[in-house]
Structure 1
Amino acid sequence: MDDAVELPGWTHVYSGKVRDLYVPTAAMDDDDSWTGDPLRTSRVVLVVASDRVSAYDRVLEPAIPGKGAMLTSLTRWWFDQLPDVPNHLAYAEDDRLQVPAIPDEVADRATLCRTLEMFPIECVVRGFITGGGWKEYQATGAIGGIPLPEGLSNGDRLPEPLFTPAWKAPMGSHDENISYERTAEIVGDTVAAQLRELSIEIFERASAVAEARGLILADTKFEFGADRDTGIVTLADEVLTSDSSRYWDAAAYESGATPEQRMASFDKQIVRDWLAANWDQAAFEAPPTLPREIVEQTAGRYRELLERLTARG
């Protein structure tokens, strides 16, 4: 992306659809440690969440004001709720890292992280049947190859949380849903078991936190990597945010007359729905500009989730 800002002491090395990555410029200049890959050479990476919004594999205009800061704040909050789960956070006061200052202009949406050996697995956990899982169940009676009882409806709670992983394809390709057995072939039996156990454990703990705040955590996705010094499986990336998780309002879920009312999510579904009604998603056709009211409604949903989860009381 061409809107990544220049940060003193940091070198921009990559931009995804919605985030920009930087490493300390000193790591790029160290001939003794340089490997040719900035993310392997540097012990830390600065992850800056932008306000960009994507849907259907396209970055849209305009951005959602405040989105990057809200997602970063929520990820930080969730890490605080999971103090016993190893995570990728690094701290500038650690003298071993010798990182430059994080500029004030990105401080509210930047996360200083240790670089890990990332596993190419997206760890999806589903507590309720909806979205792509609902479509798969209708076609096969299963999700991720896991057979489910007959007669389930869209939005039903599953008998138990399901671990339904996906293989993270190389840049430019689409991720691919895979079985647990295929996951074990990719990362090994021991790591696959750890990924499944950790993912379900974190999901169940987060679900209880959400429930206490009148929210339902329907599904989520995690990413993990191995600590480069210890090999410990470590939670990485954004965690339990509006962009990685599907939350519903518990009261609306119980009282809503239609699926749309019962399962209105606190994320960019408003954007997806508007695009689906106003764009044919042709690969050669640029997506339309989002109307102001769609941008404002989406920002409001992000903000409401953050406030409801993190409010004291």
Structure 2
Amino acid sequence: MMKLPGVDDKLQKFLVSNKDEVDARRQAREAFKDIQLNIDHILFKTSCDGLETKESYEVNSRGIEIFWKSWIPKESKPKATVFFCHGYADTCTFFFEGIARKLASSGYGVFAMDFPGFGLSEGLHGYIPSFDKLVDDVIEQYSKIKENPEFKSLPSFLFGQSMGGAVALKIHLKQPKAWNGAILCAPMCKISESMVPPKLVVHMLTAMANVFPKKKLVPMKDMGDAAFREPKKKKQTEYNVISYKDKPRLRTAVELLKTTEEIEQNLEEVTLPLLILHGEADTVTDPSVSKALYEKATSSDKKLELYKDAYHALIEGEPDERVIQVLNDIISWLDEHSLKQNI
């Protein structure tokens, strides 16, 4: 691995260390926290002044210690609450820090958690034994926060990126009346055909997953090249030291494929207000299924934004002017829908 700018030999070891267990991930994040927030990316240009941030660990009903974080405006009551669902292999403490600051600076209370097995939450790194249980863990954590008297009366919105879009949709299908809307950014309603192994290989991997569920054996193309249009921004992902960078584990891959099939078959059951954002050149998740979601969802209030030439990482990997455009589109939609709920 090439040496990263600003990373000395002592820190370099964290880049290549085994992070299967959560203690190793927490140590790596602590070592890199200040460096991460100072990389030269437009998302980190938004100041934290005027915001109250908090990091917490909480053991859930399944005995898993969950990491979550909040960003709240200091001087005014939030217009609404926004609950983030991160993508596969990701965490809520890297690029999302910048997104959360922008949303909170625009008047929103923002909450994010790391799913079990990802980021700073407990669990084997990158392992999803059951997508449904993961969704239940997210519902449990976010329901507790929503019940806080400080936030209970506020409109609440889901914000899902990539795999987090599938999580957000599954939350909605399990809690059809609990949310005032959802923002879905390049949602994983279907994994692009170019990313899925041939059918025969899928059948073989599914059979193997019953015997070796945790093995990292699933072939996959370089997601970074497919997701990030700007090479400089793709390079900066190396500073996300606790993202999952190995081949997908067998059970995880099977659960993701099964989940996308379920969602694709149940698009008509989506009823909440929707903002769907997708890059037309996305080769990781399929933009045609976002179009199908827009067409088939029975929501009376839905909007689809397709961005010409944009890749998968719409907010992290595009040129600065596109990043600003996407964030402004999200904030405009939130402003409009928060106002509707507060009237």
Question: TM-score, normalization: structure 1?
Answer: 0.30
- Which has the larger strand fraction? 1
Question: TM-score, normalization: structure 2?
Answer: 0.29
- Which has the larger helix fraction? 2
